[in-house]
Every structure is written in C-alpha cells, then in structure tokens.
C-alpha cells in the first residue's frame, strides 16, 4: 500500500467500447494492407513502431534485471522486524522497496507491451506471465512493510522524519498510510493476500486472452460490398457507415458472437466482482466501491453526485438523440444508429504525419516547451502506430520509470483517430512531466486524475479545429465529435459506473451474477439512459460482456469526472493567463505527491463540488442547440 500499484504508471487500454475506439479505413488497412487482411508486424515500417529497446536493449538485459529484482526482493525481506530501529534503517528499507518496485514496473511494462504487439506470440505471453509472477513475489516480500510501519509509535516515526532530511520525501505517503491504518492487516495476513494476488487477478487475464487472442467474429459486408472480417478495430468504422444495413450487420455480428459465450463471460466477470468484494471484506470496508474510492481518498459523494447529475441531465441526451434521428431521417433511432457521423460529407482521410502536426499545433496554448517535448517524443519511438494481426485493440499510454512514456495506437486515417492521438499524448505528457519532476514513489499519478490531461488535450484540439474553419459543415462535424466525446465519456461511462455499482451490490448481498441477471440489468440501464429517444435493441444487453475496464472495477467513473475537470481546465488555459497555464503544468508535474482532489484544486478545479460535472452537461446541452441551428433542425 505504500506504493499502492507497482504498475501505477500504466493507463488501462481503452478498447473499443465507446470511450475512444480505433478506426478502420474503408479503402486500406494500416500501412497499405488490403482491406480483407490485417498486416503482420514485420510488414510495418520501423518508424511507426515504438522502441521498447529503450527499456531493455535485449532479452538478456531483461533477464538480468529480473534476477536483480529478485535479489533485491530477498534483501528487502531482510529488513523485516527492523523498520523501527532507526531513521537510517527505515530510509534504507524504503529506498530498497522503491528500487525493487521500479525494476518490477520496467519488467512488466516491457513484457506486456511486447505481448500487446501480438497477443498470439507465445514468447511474450510467457515473459508477461513471468513478470507478473515476479511482481507477486515482490508484493509478498514487501507485505510486512505496511503493518510494521503502523506498529512504530507515531511520535517515534515523525521524530525520524524530522531528524533525517532524506526521509522527508516519504512524509506524504506515510501520512496517507496512517489514514488507511484501520484497513491494513497483520504482516502474515498481508503476505498471504499478496501471495494470492496472481490467482485473484486471473479473471482479468483470462478475459484479455479470450477477447484479444481467441475471440473470432464473422465476416460482414462493408460500404463497398466487400466481405471483411469483423475485428475490434473495425467495429466502430463499420458502425459509422452511412449504410444502415452495414451498421446493423456489424452490430448483430458483434453481439451475437458475445452471446454465444455468455455463460463463460458471466462466470469470468462474476469471478472478478467476487475478487473485488473479497478484497473489500478482508480489509473491513463496507463495500467494494468504498474500498476503491478510499484508495485515492475520494469521498463517496463524488460518485453519487456524478450519477445524480447525469440522471438530471438525461433530457439533454434525449434532445441530442432526437436531433440525430432527425438528421439521419429515420423513423426510429436504434442502438446501431448512434455512432454514424451526422456530417458524412466530411469523411476526410488524415495521414498519421498530418495528425501529428495538427495535434502539436492544437496544444500551442500549453507553451513552447510542451510542444517541443511532444514533437520530439512522437518522432523518437514513443508510439506504436498501426493495427496489425494479434495486436491489442484500442489505444493506451504506458509509463516506465524513468524511461519515456509509450503510446499504443491502432491508427486509421480519420479525424476521430487524430483525437485519439491527442488523448493518448495527454496521458504521455502527464507521465513525462511527473516522471521528470517527481521521485519514483510519487511519479505515478492516481487513476482519478489519469483522464484529465488526455481529455484536456481533446478539448484543446476541438477549440483549434473550430477556430481554423469557416466551413459550417466542418464546424458541425467538430461539434458533433465533441458531443460524441461527452456522450461517450460522461453519459456512457456514468452508465458503466452505475452498472458496476449494481453488480457489486448484488454480489455483496450474496446473489449470483448470472448471465440473465447481468443482461437484464444492463438492458434496463440502457432503457434509462437512451430509452427516451432510442429503441433499445435486445442484443445491446450483451454489451457488458465486452467492456475490458469492468475488470478494473470502479475505474470508469473517473472518465466522467476526468472530462468534467478537463473541460474546466481547458477553459482556464484558453481564456485565462500565463498563471493558469503554469498551474496546469504544475498539476501535470505533481504526479502522486498529493491527494488528487488537492492537485486539481491547485490547478483551479474543485471536484469535490458537483459544479464541474453540471457545467460540462450544460455545455453539452448548449452545443446540441448550436449544432441543431447549423443543421437547420431547430
């Protein structure tokens, strides 16, 4: 718990479920491959691949650090029973713990990102498994640290901190530890819990392999009438087709495939929920949700206020969906009608190099240094650009201290993918600034703020595009994209958050998470959120089965709070002065050196208040009206 997440610099992959999905060109796949077949990795130009050799130049170097990490792990175990001896002993133990965790983060990052290049590669499957095993060993070896620290009389501990200036760096994390003291187990119990970690994390690993490596979808006809294999990366592109038959075919193919595996997926997800409930129970939290929020010291009211604010603003979502129905000219709006662009004439292709230049220009309000670092990073091996066979779908950013951040994309030549690049660059720059500024113990920022920098970049890109066009159709397109971002990030992720709340409460009452209950519950939520203006197709009840973030419970609500904070911060950056920009860059540099709520307050946003969420929802409603005016539908 001192370093709550040895993989703390990772940002979970955002895989094709509406937050930020990859796109597929109707004419070509990545790097010129034929539409009916994805390229293999060796067919991609090296300049479009990330440079994992910046972490380790060879597998031998990985093996050497793995052995070193295990040796340091054994040395750390030698401090058990000695942490209270002196300030010097305590400092040495904490530094050794950092050294072990830093190495484990590199080991896991290297192995996992290599595996994500091609999930069918047995070598990197094995390397990932070994890295996770090492991480579990480390977690077990250091499990004594927190209970033993809590046994040191506080007068003695703070006396050590005052007497040894080098211990000062750990003051915040130590005070946070005592805040959670009542939820820490004995050293023996913590070691047992840590040793069980690999088994308890199995549901998420199983889902990833099933979803990304083993799942096969049927072929469907695209806009040109060509039979193409449905993939995670192609799904949204097909759903955006102007041909309603193509959209419906993709929708049906996706969810009938998941429906065939409903029992397996329900058992897998149910096991993940039980894991969350188990952890909360043994740590004496009233619920899994309370345990998850307490880790970041987030009041439960933040979650509840989010659900209430979004429910109150569902009429604005109805207004947007009714506008969509009018523009598409359909009698009934179905779930497969909500992704297709409202301005089809602007189906422009944007090559990756042009996307990079556009994003760099859009972030100019953040200053020349920010632009320079971003430009150099994107050109020097930060990014893995194109979709290839076996590659993990979606997009993410991953930080590996003290190496530069990495970005996984599945880039297709579309405006939406330009926004994906801006989004992931925001994550990467947050990681870059926090890594450059903070020691390892604070370099990883919390999940509560993880989406702020990314969605702030998207807001800056939206503003840039709107300021650089006089074309009403382009303006309508960008407005619609931003509305879709808010719908997908604030409304949709809040619906996901409500689903997680319901599933965990159901399990905590001792009820079974059967396929029928999961599907019925998910269907009813869609009725609540979309039923005012949309036909809720029965197959949407299976969507819960393809949401990867559900295996990292109570994460998705942070997308919704994140976009609300980002909206407020982007307005300060664009409308304020140099101090507002400095405050924002200070937030990026803060890492995990303070509570998330306080770091955001320092940047000028109070997320303990519901106002940022309400302001973003009001902006959504106003933008629906503006789009309706441009399209002549008011």
Tokens for 114? 């290599």
Cβ-based neighbour number of residue 265 at 10 Å: 22
Q: Are 336 and 353 in contact (CB under 8 A)?
A: no
Cβ-based neighbour number of residue 287 at 10 Å: 17
Write a three-state SS string for 9-42. CECCCECCCCCCCCCCCCCCCHHHCCCCCCCCHH
Location of structure tokens 């990772």 = 10
Location of structure tokens 């969507």 = 543
Q: Annotated catalytic, 424?
A: yes
| DSSP label at residue 210 | I
* DSSP labels, 584-615: HHHHHHTTTSS-HHHHHHHHT--TTSSHHHHH
Q: Could you tell me which of 277, 585, 624, 382 has the C-alpha nearest to residue 484? A: 624
Q: Are 417 and 409 in contact (CB under 8 A)?
A: yes
Tokens for 549? 């973030």
Q: Which of 65, 237, 424, 451 is catalytic?
A: 424
Q: What is the largest CA-CA distance in the chain?
A: 76
Tokens for 477? 């397109």
The Cα–Cα gap between 565 and 609 comes to 11
Q: Could you tell me which of 105, 184, 171 has the C-alpha nearest to residue 143? A: 184
* DSSP labels, 158-198: HHHHHH-GGGGGGHHHHHHHHHTGGG---HHHHHHHHHTHH
HSE-up of residue 401 (Cα within 13 Å, Cβ side): 29
Give the full edge-to-edge strand order of the sheet including 383-384: 383-384, 406-408, 396-398
Q: b vs e for 93-107, b when ≥16 Cβ sit within 10 Å of the residue's Cβ? A: bbbbbbbbbbbbbbb
Q: At residue 49, what are phi and psi to the nearest 5 degrees? A: -115, 145
Peptide bond preceding 402 in cis form (omega within 30 of 0): yes
The Cα–Cα gap between 317 and 462 comes to 20
Q: Which residues are tagged catalytic?
A: 424
């Amino acid at each position: 718990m001192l370093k709550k997440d040895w993989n703390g610099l990772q940002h979970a992959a955002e895989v094709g479920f509406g937050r930020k999905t990859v796109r597929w060109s109707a004419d070509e796949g990545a790097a010129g491959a034929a539409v009916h077949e994805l390229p293999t990795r060796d067919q991609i130009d090296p300049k479009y691949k990330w440079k994992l050799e910046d972490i380790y130049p060879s597998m031998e170097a990985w093996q050497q650090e793995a052995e070193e990490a295990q040796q340091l792990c054994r040395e750390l175990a030698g401090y058990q029973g000695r942490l209270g001896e002196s300030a010097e002993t305590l400092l040495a133990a904490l530094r050794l713990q950092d050294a072990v965790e830093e190495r484990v983060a590199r080991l896991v990052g290297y192995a996992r990102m290599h595996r994500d290049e091609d999930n069918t590669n047995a070598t990197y499957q094995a390397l990932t498994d070994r890295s996770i095993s090492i991480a579990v060993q480390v977690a077990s070896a250091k499990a004594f640290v927190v209970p033993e620290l809590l046994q040191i009389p506080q007068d003695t501990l703070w006396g050590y901190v005052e007497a040894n200036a080098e211990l000062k760096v750990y003051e915040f994390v130590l005070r946070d530890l005592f805040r959670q003291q009542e939820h820490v187990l004995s050293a023996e119990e913590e070691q047992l819990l840590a040793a069980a970690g690999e088994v308890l994390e199995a549901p998420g690993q199983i889902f990833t392999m099933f979803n990304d490596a083993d799942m096969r979808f049927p072929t469907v006809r695209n806009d040109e009438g060509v039979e193409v294999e449905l993939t995670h990366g192609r799904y949204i592109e097909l759903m955006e087709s102007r041909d309603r038959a193509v959209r419906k075919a993709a929708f049906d193919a996706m969810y009938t495939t998941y429906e065939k595996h409903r029992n397996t997926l329900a058992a897998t997800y149910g096991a993940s929920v039980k894991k969350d409930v188990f952890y909360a129970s043994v740590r004496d939290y009233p619920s899994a949700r309370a345990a998850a929020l307490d880790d970041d010291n987030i009041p439960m009211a933040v979650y509840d206020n989010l659900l209430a604010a979004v429910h109150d603003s569902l009429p604005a979502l109805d207004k947007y969906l009714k506008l969509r129905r009018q523009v598409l000219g359909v009698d009934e709006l179905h779930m497969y009608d909500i992704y297709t662009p409202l301005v089809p004439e602007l189906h422009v292709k944007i090559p990756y190099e042009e996307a990079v230049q556009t994003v760099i220009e859009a972030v100019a309000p953040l200053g020349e240094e920010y632009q320079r670092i971003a430009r150099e990073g994107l050109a020097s091996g930060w990014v893995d650009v194109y979709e290839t066979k076996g590659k993990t779908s979606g997009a993410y950013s991953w930080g590996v201290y003290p190496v530069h951040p990495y970005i996984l994309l599945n880039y297709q030549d579309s405006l939406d993918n330009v926004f994906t690049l801006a989004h992931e660059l925001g994550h990467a720059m947050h990681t870059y600034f926090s890594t450059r500024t903070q020691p390892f113990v604070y370099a990883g920022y919390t999940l509560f703020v993880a989406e702020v920098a990314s969605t702030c970049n998207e807001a800056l890109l939206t503003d840039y595009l709107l300021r650089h066009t006089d074309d009403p159709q382009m303006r309508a397109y960008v407005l619609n994209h931003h509305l879709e971002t808010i719908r997908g990030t604030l409304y949709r992720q809040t619906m996901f958050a409500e689903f997680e709340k319901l599933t965990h409460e159901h399990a905590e009452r001792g009820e079974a998470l059967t396929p029928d209950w999961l599907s019925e519950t998910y269907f009813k939520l869609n009725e609540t959120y979309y039923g005012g203006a949309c036909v809720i197709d029965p197959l949407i009840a299976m969507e819960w089965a393809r949401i990867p973030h559900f295996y990292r419970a109570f994460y998705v609500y942070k997308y919704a709070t994140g976009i609300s904070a980002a909206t407020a911060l982007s307005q300060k950056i664009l409308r304020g002065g140099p101090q507002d920009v400095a405050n924002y860059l200070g937030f990026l540099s803060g890492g995990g050196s303070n509570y998330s709520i306080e770091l955001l307050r320092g940047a000028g946003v109070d997320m303990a208040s519901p106002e940022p969420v309400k302001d973003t929802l009001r902006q959504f409603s106003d933008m629906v009206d503006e789009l309706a005016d441009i399209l002549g539908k008011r």
